Structure 1
Amino acid sequence: MNANSEICEAESSTILIVEDDPTFVLVLKTILLLLDPELTIECVDNYEQAAICIRKHSSSKSFSIISDFNLKTSSTGADVWATRCEVCPQAPFLLISTIQNSEILSEFKPFPEAVNYLPKPSNLTVLQDECRKLMGSSLSRDLLEYASFK
């Protein structure tokens, strides 16, 4: 086995974005790819597709989830959380919502205290910092640094 094939077999980091607002998806993707240009990002806008993606990554060690609370269907981010807890409990999870955390936290069972929450709309620097924490790294590129070079 040569070095190139070993690199190809390495597991890349993947983040699932569950969000039905295309503009916010674009903001998230921009921030995430600035933090890690090699990142794989999967975007879905409903629970059903999210559940399929979570099951697909059930054995992945480098899988994270960012979800809105309100989704296109009658399901919510709490349903995404429940599937994550059942199928992929090791996956870091960030909930981003316009609804106050205290109003929805009780829906996140069995471990509501484990939900990382960020209000939306977000300050971009705070959003970047939360994405960085979710990815478990202190990657080099910074949104403000990127914007200053444009």
Structure 2
Amino acid sequence: MDKLSGKAADLTRAEWRELGFYYVSHEDEKKWELHGSKNGLLKLCDLIKKFADENREYGDHEHLLPHWYLTLTALDSFSLDERGIGGTPEQLRNFAHFFQSKVFSSKVGSTSSVPKEAFSTDYGIEYTVQGDNFDPSSQDPQL
């Protein structure tokens, strides 16, 4: 994986900071790994709820910057897989509320998970709660 430089690196740093958390997919372990402050991780919940509230048509999706790997998708059943998170608006909202409560109850410095068995999905989520001054771009190996 090549390092980004110049404007591309600056733009990518800004996008991670705006997103509020860092994510990476581990296909071999079938999990998404997230790093962020509580507020940063809660932004994922906000993005999921916003997407659900838009009542998108089946198959419509939204890629989360900066690298566009994590995708929110309108589906007819809940899914957490190598593409990202999908489902009906109600299922997406339920997941967002579940994840929100997990993040709220997590302590700074802790690593917790939403195992794939929790929602009968292909992937799970492992997340680490960082301090308030955490910079998600610091985790990107391309920077």
Q: Which one scores higher on RCO, CA 8 angstroms, separation ≥ 6?
A: 2
State the TM-score, normalizing by the size of structure 1.
Answer: 0.30
TM-score by length of 2: 0.31
Going by fraction, where is strand more abundant, 1 or 2?
A: 2
State which structure, 1 or 2, has the greater radius of gyration over its C-alpha atoms.
1
Name whichever structure is richer in helix by fraction: 1
